[in-house]
Amino acid sequence: MKKTAWIFLSPMLVMVTIFFFIPVILTIVLSFTDMDYQFQWNFVGFSNFKDIATDFIIPKVTTNTLIYTFTTLGLFNVGSALLISLLTTSIPDKWGGFFRTLWMLPRLTPSVVYGLLWLWIFDPTEHGLLNFMRMSMGLPPQNWLYRAPMFIVVVANGFIGASMGMLIFTAAIKAIPIDYYRAALLDGASWWMITRKITLPLIKWQVLFVTAYQTLSLLTSFEYILIITDGGPVFRTEVWSLYTYHMAFSNYRFGYGAALSVVLVIMGIIFAIAYLRLFKFEALMQKPKVEVD
């Protein structure tokens, strides 16, 4: 039986080893070199990590990363996702499914097309959607990408990120036994009271899971920032993952980029441990206790 299990697991183990463990090991080794476009493995010890500590742009990048991560998380990936789920499960399922489908459309759109759509909306000329609307009201056009670049990338990423939490929260709400709601309605409870006393407590673990997962996801995401602002203007939207990409593939400082990625992994581990302690996820793995009166 064990031999059969290993036979079925072996393709997955091979794939994980090739595409995860080996790249991780190579990245760690590369972080101790000064490899550049010449692709020479010159080991320099902890020099790259010392450079990170003295890099003048790192404080700005760190601040941008925290603002981007937790603003997007609170407003969209958890906040909007939870609100959409609560509202769309409170109306007839036909209409609720329709509105949830609308929120899934950005997720189904190719990244470049989605990014170009936001660039058109915030185009600084009179051809941009917002500026066209402003000019129709007699107002002058604005350079949105300069005035509020972080707001733009948060909104653009948020419309994508909210869909995952929306699906998880909706499934969790629909799994709550209908008898709870019927009993509450018979007692005269309002929608807000039902949401606060029944729905939210019963989907607590789903909310905590999405919060933890999306935090780690946002720490490493930079795709739409790269497309929309490329970290600009003047590093105002340069987050840690994007800075790592620029160092490695724009400036060809592969060793330094690898060191930045190692630090980012350490940051992710710290956040993961903090969430494990704060949310007490280990309680979910305990065997349920059955009490009989």
The pLDDT value recorded for residue 293 is 39
Q: How many CA atoms lie within 13 A of 206 on its CB side?
A: 22
For 11, phi then psi, to 5°, come to -60, -40
Per-residue b/e over 124-133, b at no fewer than 16 CB within 10 Å? beeebeebee
Q: What is the pLDDT of residues 215-244, one digit of tens each?
A: 999 999 999 999 999 999 999 999 999 999
The pLDDT value recorded for residue 1 is 61
Average pLDDT over residues 187-195: 89
Average pLDDT over residues 153-158: 94
The answer to whether residue 291 scores a pLDDT higher than 50 is no
- Per the CB < 8 A criterion, the answer to whether 263 and 52 are in contact is yes
What are the contacts of 92-98 at 24+ separation with CB within 8 A? none
d(CA 232, CA 252): 19
10 Å CB burial of residue 11 (0-12, 13-18, 19+) is exposed
Q: How confident is the model at residue 83 (pLDDT cuts 50, 70, 90)?
A: very high
- Per the CB < 8 A criterion, the answer to whether 265 and 244 are in contact is no
List, in order, residues 6 or more apart from 211 with CB less than 8 Å away.
73, 78, 275, 279
Q: 57-280: what CATH class?
A: mainly alpha
Cα of 170 vs its chain's centroid, Å: 19
- Per the CB < 8 A criterion, the answer to whether 153 and 66 are in contact is no
Distances (CA, A) of 243 to 36, 55, 63, 162, 257: 16, 12, 13, 25, 8
Domain residue extents for the chain = 57-280
What mean pLDDT is reported for the chain? 89
Alpha helices in the chain (DSSP H): 2-16, 22-30, 47-54, 58-72, 81-88, 93-108, 111-121, 129-136, 144-147, 149-174, 178-186, 191-194, 200-202, 204-220, 223-228, 240-249, 254-279
- Per the CB < 8 A criterion, the answer to whether 166 and 105 are in contact is no
Average pLDDT over residues 45-71: 95
